[in-house]
Structure 1
Amino acid sequence: MRKRRDSAWNGIDSDRVLQVLVHNLDGMVFRCAIDDQWTMHFVSDGSRELTGYCPDELEYNKVTSLEVITHPEDRAQVRRAISIAMAGSGRYRVQYRIVHRRGEVKWVLERGAVVLDEQGRRVLEGFIEDVTEQVLSQRQLADAELRYRSIFEDSVVGMFQTSIDGHYLAANRALAELYGYENPAALIAGLSDIAISLYVAQGRREEFKTLMREHGRVTDFESEVYRRDGSSIWISEHAHVVYSPQGEPLYYEGTVEDVTAQHNYRQQLEYQATHDPLTGLPNRNLLQDRLQQVLRLAQRRATKGSLAFVDLDNFKFVNDSLGHGAGDKLLVEVARRLKSCLRDSDTVARYGGDEFVLILGDYGGLSDTLHILHRVQDAVSAPIMLEGQEVRVNCSLGVSLFPDDGVDLEVLLRHSDAAMHHAKKLGKGQFQFYTESLNVEARDRLALDSALRRAVEQDELYVVYQPKVDANGRPFGFEALVRWDSAEFGSVSPVRFIPLAEENGLIGQVTWFVLREACHQAAAWRAAGNPKLRVAVNISPSLFREKDLAALVMSVLEEAGLPPENLELEITEGMLMGDVQRALAVLDELKAMGVYIAVDDFGTGYSSLAYLKRFPIDILKVDRSFVIECDCGNEGLAITRAVVSLAHSLNLRVVAEGVEKQTQLAVLNALGCQEFQGYLFAKPMPAAALEAYLANPTIAG
């Protein structure tokens, strides 16, 4: 093909062909400068017919310029279109008016591009053609439409024309009255932005436009819309796109009908089909849909969920003794209580009789599910007045997990129903999981919870102290750590019982116990001749949110007779995030007392340098996960060096915790850590062993 084309051009004077084409086109080919007058460098012969000026008169503005013959009202529009092209693709297309030499006004269409000339300067090259006939035809069409305005105005159906970008161009009286306006003019002025001002559902106008782009029309487009007084109605729209002769969309036009009554009737029928008439809860029909939604969400997030079957105990007794009316009141109240126990994303449905089903999405682990189940049991078993009598009922629950125990409603219900009947056999008012391993885990957790409560009440907890030393093993102070030796479970790791204390609300009592013990011990050190030793106590996140935390700490210090400078409070960096102003206020109060503030486990959270600079912090503790890798080189060393460097840049003292080897100590000492803590120096020890340790501190390794 290439050779054939070359051979065809070989016998043709291409320059002559191009010149003939350029000078015989019905329109004007041009090149012009990008300046105030659009100074013409070249104009084709078509300028005579288009403008009344020959090329010699237009080139280099000898008689007039393109800017001058452009209609004054359209000059800014033309320049704006070209400016946009210069900033973007370089191509532009603009329709505007020019004034012919004879004084008549013509409509022209200019198409061009920003290019570089032979000297590398940006110029415009393009083509301008006369489109007056097309524009006049469009206007004649508009005039013809005006002749039918009476039909438009007098129709009993709402009718409209709107621009593509969402403004009313025309509306009839029926539409104005439908939307609550006095007349069409008031409607057009009041609804300046249809997308925001008319449709209740955000994005509904975009859906309308999408259908128009894809199909050119909408049919039975049903939406909820606002009336002028703020009330809403439901409408059905039938509309289509009106195109120009060139196929460009000009505007939308169509009709509007009020379908509020029909919509509400359909909604009522749908609600009756999917909700229990007594309690208003979703029924079996809707339960399937709700479960599918939660299953899809769990699949996307790679999470789990649970389905609980709830059966009221002794409901038949209430029905038989107090009557069906009392039984219905009980079911309504139980439904209300169940809803109050769940999150908005969860579902409670009435399955039938005295049976309910709970769908708990975004399963956060066994502890979250147990918390909700306990809340449900407590809520249901609370007394209720029926027919003048105080009545109490319990419930039995069976729980299945998805996707572990099934991924469809029938299977999950069958499994949770089996678990519920097992719970009834064990004794009413209980819950059981379908999976026995979870039952064992749940029972163990409940037993541990009870044991921890007894431990707090019966003083089973005690405090041990781990030294914080310099590189030579000389102690600066001690960190107070809580321990638990249970009569039932033996020695329980803090990793196991501290999170449990956070969940069940015991952490406050545990923390104050440790704080009091530690402050009295530090006061004893001072009395024994060690006035500079500090004791460090961890403050839990829940306690940190207490508004009177500083006052409570001061009361413990006064009770022990310990100066504030001998106390160090350790917080995690996650506690600094969230409500920054609240955290700053609490720390300022504590700092004003004179206590030291340390950030524990630094590097494992999400705090930034900008936040750390705002808080009155004295000490940064490098987390042991970084310390144990600091002597391995590469990434471990780089992270530790960065943390220490950050602390020094903020004038903070650096403590490395979890030091177990001499090589780690050497690296951390070289990086500039001032204090060290770990098994290399000493394990946590009871208060009774502290006197001997202080008399002869040594490095264990």
Structure 2
Amino acid sequence: DNDFFGVTGSDIALETLLAQLPIGDREQHLLVFDAKGQLLAHPDLDKTTLEQYGREGKKLLTEDFVNPDLQKLVSETIRLKLPESANSFVQDGETHIINIRKVENLNWYIGIYKKRSSALSALEELKVKFFGLFILYAILVALLLHQALYQLVLRRIHSLVNAVVSFGKGQLQTEFPKANKDEIGTLNGSFRDMAIEIRKLIDGLNQRISEKEIAEKAANRLSKAVAFSGTGVVITNQDFEIKYVNPKMVEMTGFEERHFIGSPLLNIISQEMAILVDDIDIDLRSRNYWRGDTLLQGNERQSVWVSLSISPIREDGGEITSYVASAQDISFVKESQRKMEQLAYFDTLTGLANRTFFRMQLRKSMALAERGHYAFALFYFDLDEFKRINDTLGHDAGDQLLVEVANRLKKRLRTEDTIARLGGDEFAVLLSGIEHQTHAMEVANTIQRTLNEPIKLGNNEVIISASIGITMAPFDSQEEDQLLKHADLAMYEAKAKGRNTFHFYSQELNAAANERLFIENELRTGIREGQFRVYYQPQVDCRNNQVVGYEALIRWFHPKEGMIPPTKFIPIAEATGLIVELGAWILQEACEFAARLASQDLKNNISINLSARQFKDANLVSTLDKIIKQTGVEPKRLHLELTESMLMGHVEAAILQLHQLKALGVSISIDDFGTGYSSLSYLKRFPVDILKVDRSFVKDIPQDSNDMEITAAIIAMAQKLKLNVVAEGVETIEQIEFLQNNNCYIVQGYYYSKPIPEDELPALYEQLNSLNS
């Protein structure tokens, strides 16, 4: 709105301003002065000079720094107040050109000067450049004229001459210059047309020559290929008369070439394949070709398996003029197939059928049985105590035994029967045409008699036996897998009956197998859900009817099946390995029970059975040590019961394990003594504290005098070895009296109590007290 508010600005130091100006360099110099002749900037004006003039209070005047000639121009410029002027002056003997401009607002004068020679040198250079360019343009014009003349006339003539000379030298692919409408172009066109015609004639001749050479080479190659081929080749006429055979055919058959020439083609086929000759002849006459595998007739040598192919040779019109037969030797392939089949379907050790071939034959037999009027028996067996022979005599002796068993089976059974080794010492036999068990029993007895004959293995003679399971088809089952399962169940039943026998499948075996599977599945659930309880059977001193200890016995109360006997689930737990987990739980429960009895000042010896799998468990000692420390039970109160058979498997390992257990302070008891090996030489090496007389010797006392003598002998032996004795299965007063008379006082059995839960112990103590009273 045209209102005045004030003035603003900033100061710039003169030194800062002048520092931005080119005061002096190699080519030109700068001079700044004001209207009063005071010097503001000059090449000779440095900081030292300024400080000197400042100290002396002197003014910087131009006349102190420039020569008189330049001072004259400066004075004239100031005097005339020229806004712009250009002139020259002499300095150091050389003329300089200066241009002075006035800065009106500052009332300053700025002059730029440089040597005259330096300023004019650029002009001289420009003149030289213009002269040089003129010369270059002249040369360029001359070259353009020469090039135009060469392109339009000389090059075309030279190209035509070179093309004619090259063509004359036989270079037929020479390219002639393109034809133009002038005389030179017409001449080029004429020469090019002539060259094309000559080239066509020569190309035609060369092509005919090349085709002839190629045909001759191809025929020569084909002839050599047939002659040197690794395939036997026979060429006939249209009537199948042999006209040519190559060396390979001669080599394969052993006949000379003249044997083939003129003879019928089909004579090359072996007489063993005579049934095939008529079919080949029919195919050749109806379809003009044949292909397949056959045998070639050999000359005093074995016939050769070949892949034979017979094909017609037709002329251009389609007429058949001859036939060619090629025979590729496939003897190696056939032999490889035979070996592969041998490996795939037969056992390499015994030569018997293997599992794969056996299953194939079983499927075929099942298919025939389904159609009716066909029955067969399936035998499934293994060799009793084969592992013992393998371990004692070595695997080579075991292999020799298997070979001998296979040979005996092949000699005694019919050729139409399938004998297979399924693996290890397991064998199976398919007996065709067996409809009745009596016939199968006869064969089973034959097999057992055959195997029972002594077998010489090196310097040793062994006698083996087999446990045979028998199932009848299609009566027992019409399914392959079920039939194998039935035979397997029957074999295990034969083993359970004492081995060296046979057993037929029955529905009861199947029910037992299903029950076993049910128990095996339910065991895991039972352990997880706590379905097991520990019952305790008291061990009583029969002299005063006082309880001295207990045996811990496991009981399984299934939520649906009720109580499952230990005789059913313990073997399955042992086989599956679950006995280790179950046994650790029993140890824990029994030790806690003993600790509770100790807190009540009651006798608290506790006997716990160890299974074979549990005894061999590497963690048994550490687990037991942990339980003893956790429950606080006295180790000497803990009696671990083991059977003789558990200790006799690997004696040295068993002794080591027993000593490790004894180091914990526990007692070792031999359970069921007298029913196993009863080797006294080993018994004295075992760190045993207690012998338990098996119930099988006690139950028939006093009726069986033999049992009485055995029991008395066991008690006497234990006393001589300074071992404690416990009698199991005591049920009558007569048995009590007999044991007392033989100095066996610790008894266990139904006479005093059956196994009971812990909460029934008070009633037991009352009962025993009543006996004392």
Coarse TM-score class (shorter-chain normalised) = 0.3 to 0.5
Q: Which has the larger radius of gyration?
A: 2
TM-score of the aligned structures, taking structure 1 as reference length? 0.43
TM-score of the aligned structures, taking structure 2 as reference length? 0.39
